[in-house]
Structure 1
Amino acid sequence: MDLQNTSHLVTSKPDELVPSRYALKVGEIDVLVISDGVLPLPTTMLGHNAAPSERAAWFKDMFLPTDAFDWALNAVVVRSGGKTILIDAGLGSDPDLNLPRAGQLIRRLDAAGIDLASVTDVVLTHMHMDHVGGLLVEGVKDRLRPDLQIHVAAAEVEFWRAPDFSRTAMPEGFPDALRAAAKRFAKEYHNQIRQFDEEHEVAPGVVVRRTGGHTPGHSIVRLMSGGEAMTFAGDAVFTVGFDHPDWHNGFEHDPDEATRVREGLLRDLAKTGELLVATHMPFPSIGRVGREGNVFRFVPISWDY
């Protein structure tokens, strides 16, 4: 199936008041960005090491509420070399944390005409619950092909055997929910998990690379075809990170390393001019990175219908 045409396969249902998928091509690679919904989180999550007044000023300048905000949650489907690859799997069922507007990925894949049985590979940027939860929804595993391969960094698998949250700053309840989801995922899918150390080519022009920082095995995925490129940055980049790349996200397990990863990635993207997609950038989160001294800016693409 040509993902370029999936946005026209199904008419939006009455409860779909906004677009939830966006298709494009990177050279010969088909790409579909799908919204899993949004996560309501306190604003401190985007810069818990920043002064409250400075953080509030940034949110005010961005015309966002200063106490809590809706954090976008995106996944990507890629077609290359005869493979259909799902990059991250969304939240799945609400883990009793009052996140009712996320966990939409499975039904939105159905609405886009993508049969779960057609997915040959899954790439996980990391094993936080909002990236593996869709695979834990009741009935999903039975719809997946038995030879499905799930690619995740070995350092990530090892970390979640005994996770250390000592440098995070998450809201109450999240550490336990993250630990439970990762443990359940590792148990249910251990036969399908394919670990890599630093870099692995999943399909022609689809390369996953471990960065660390956000989690020890956090990874990004780079697509390259026909002289074009796109990087799916996972949780390495957030909206505030363009203005304040040194602000620490509350879910980062090594905030200092995460800052170095973020700054290096943004510098590289500004230099190459290639496309960027990220999990928690506003949907469809596709754009390029500009740079002005030590400050970066996100330049969204113009929507192509």
Structure 2
Amino acid sequence: MDLDNTSHSAGHSPEELVPSRYALKIGEIDVMVVSDGVLPLPGAMLAHNADPAVRAAWLKDMFLPSDAFDWALNVVVVRSGSQTILVDAGLGFDPQLNLPRAGQLTKRLEAAGIDLGSVTDVVLTHMHMDHVGGLIVDGVKERLRPDLRIHVAASEIEFWESPDFSRVAMPPGFPDALRAAAKRFTKEYQNHLRTFEEKHEVAPGVVVTRTGGHTPGHSVVRVASGGDRLMFAGDAVFTVGFEHPDWYNGFEHDPAEAARVRVRLLQELAKTRSLLVATHLPFPSIGHVAVDGDAFRWVPVYWDY
């Protein structure tokens, strides 16, 4: 599999009218961002601690509707040496939530020429259903390698044994769906789990590190080769988080800590000039971070055709 070549294929299936994968090189490591679709959510989910008028003004300035908008869902495939690593697994399918435009990962991996059976490792930034759901879709587990390794922070597994939703601000139905997805995932993949405490090298140049905040075991993945660096930040960074890093996202289980983590990571990215990819930044979500006064500025990369 050549991730660089697959991203430049001229053909698209008739139903795919927009690009859904983008490949790049980080030194000698192949990286591909794959879109799992979009997740429509209320605008208030961006910042439930912000003044509604200020939040509405930000949405207007961004040419976004005030009531709801589409959150991107991105995952990453990394090839380092003999290992093919899937970072997060998308939403999968939950008919109770009526989210038909998400859960596209399996077919988009296939369109990119990536066989599920070639994946040697999965890294989970955390266990929200839009990050593990693709692994619990009927028929997926049977297509995976029997020796598949799934890397996740030990504190994340522990948290979902009895999750605390007291500080979130989610739409109705989501806490129950999240709880059910995490429980099913843990049951089905118990024998594949490889837990770590704070940091773990998954493959040469691919390191996962626990940050906490969004969930207790939330983690980011750093990829480094030669002089190139990229961070997949999971749900630590959202579109609004550059200008307003102190705004609380509705899915954050510890919002104050999540804000501290967000600032720390954005400062690191600005200092190191590393590339950033995150789950809910608009596809392909590849860019740099610059300091802008007391906040930050998002600088998307130019697409390389």
Q: Shorter chain as normaliser: what TM range?
A: over 0.9
Q: Provide closer, same or farther for how the CA distance between residues 183 and 95 of structure 1 changes in structure 2, counting only shifts above 3 A.
A: farther
Aligned residue in 2 for 1:271: 271
Does structure 2 retain, via aligned residues, the 8 Å contact 1:10–1:113? no
Q: Could you tell me how far apart the structure 2 residues matched to 1:277 and 1:128 are? A: 18
SS at match of 1:79: strand
> Corresponding residue for 1:235?
235
Alignment of 1:97-176 (within 5 A): 97-176=97-176
TM-superposed deviation, 1:75 = 0.2
Which digits, 9 at most, give the CA deviation of each residue in 1:225-276, with x for residues without a partner?
0111000000000000000000000000000000000000001101111100
- Whichever residue aligns with residue 195 of structure 1, its letter is T
**Cα displacement string for residues 2-36 of structure 1 (whole angstroms, at most 9, x for unaligned residues):** 21111245721111111000000000000000000
TM-score, normalization by structure 1: 0.99
Q: TM-score by structure 2 length? A: 0.99
Partner of 2:296: 296
Aligned length: 305
Give distance in 1, aligned partners of 2:288 and 2:41.
26
CA RMSD between the two structures:
0.8
Partner of 1:220: 220
Q: Give, as a single letter, the amino acid of the residue that structure 2 aligns with 1:158.
A: E
- 8 Å Cα contact 1:29-1:79 kept in structure 2: yes
For 2:297 and 2:16, how far apart are their aligned partners in 1? 30
Q: CA distance change for structure 1 residues 123 and 10 in 2, over 3 Å: closer, same or farther?
A: farther
Equivalence for 1:38: 38
Which amino acid counterpart does residue 49 of structure 1 have in structure 2? N
Instruction: Verify: 1:60 aligned to 2:63, yes or no.
Output: no
Give me the whole-angstrom Cα distance separating, in 1, the residues matched to 2:293 and 2:7: 38
Native 8 Å contact 1:156 1:218 kept in 2: yes
Helix, strand or coil for the counterpart of 1:189?
helix
1:107 and 1:40 map into 2 onto residues whose CA distance is: 20
Counterpart in the other structure of 1:280: 280
- Larger mean CA deviation between 176-185 and 92-101 belongs to 92-101
Unaligned runs of 5+ in 2: none
Letter in 1 for 2:28: E
One-letter amino acid matched to 1:237: V
- Partners of 1:132 and 1:256 lie apart in 2 by 25
For structure 1, the residue ranges without an aligned partner over 5 or more in a row are none
| Seq. identity, % | 76
Conserved in 2, the CA contact under 8 Å of 1:206 and 1:224?
Answer: yes
1:247 aligned partner? 247
| CA distances 1:56-76 after superposition (whole Å, capped 9, x unpaired) | 000000000010000000000
Cα contact 1:10–1:111 (8 A) shared by 2: no
**Within 2, Cα distance between the matches of 1:200 and 1:10?**
38
Deviation digits for residues 192-233 of structure 1, max 9, x if unmatched?
A: 000000000000000000000000000000000011100000
User: Does the C-alpha gap of structure 1 residues 124 and 95 become closer, same or farther in structure 2, counting only changes over 3 Å?
Assistant: farther
